[in-house]
């Protein structure tokens, strides 16, 4: 399935590659709302791994709930979800290694 990405409105030196894994048994909605002029929201199914780019200042909100309600379960600083730095910092790293795919946050 193709994923449409919203353009990130900040300097690329401020960008980090992040990974979030839904380890709950319910569908979650994750959002980044604290970055001015940018809104990021995705649905994450149980066991699904979501990779995304964000500002190092980003705060990932994790929401879960039933039909007509939403509960803010957690707010995670994107710095805890970093799996690699921006392209210019990753250029010399071994991207294909198993360690490169492990999220910082567990």
CATH number reported for the structural domain that contains residue 66 in this entry: 2.60.40
Q: Which two tokens stand for residue 92?
A: 């010399």
Is 63 a domain residue?
Answer: yes
Structural domain boundaries, residue 97: 13-101
Range scoring the smallest mean pLDDT among 39-43, 75-79, 81-85, 89-93:
89-93
Determine, yes or no, domain membership for 7: no
| Pair 58, 35: CB distance under 8 Å | yes
Residue-wise pLDDT tens digits, 23-79: 999 999 999 999 988 889 999 999 999 999 999 999 999 999 777 788 999 999 999
Q: How many domains does the chain have?
A: 1
**Sign of dihedral through CA atoms 80, 47, 75, 28?**
positive
Whether residue 8 is contained in a domain is answered as: no
Sign of dihedral through CA atoms 82, 88, 92, 96? positive
């Amino acid at each position: 399935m193709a994923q449409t990405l919203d353009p990130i409105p900040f300097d690329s030196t401020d960008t980090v590659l992040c990974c979030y894994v839904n380890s709950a048994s319910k569908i979650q909605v994750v959002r980044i709302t604290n970055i001015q002029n940018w809104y990021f929201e995705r649905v994450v199914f149980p066991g699904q791994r979501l990779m995304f780019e964000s500002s190092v200042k980003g705060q990932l909100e994790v929401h879960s709930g039933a039909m007509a309600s939403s509960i803010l379960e957690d707010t995670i600083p994107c710095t805890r979800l970093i799996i690699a730095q921006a392209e210019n910092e990753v250029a010399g790293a071994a991207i294909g290694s198993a360690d490169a795919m492990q999220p910082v946050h567990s």
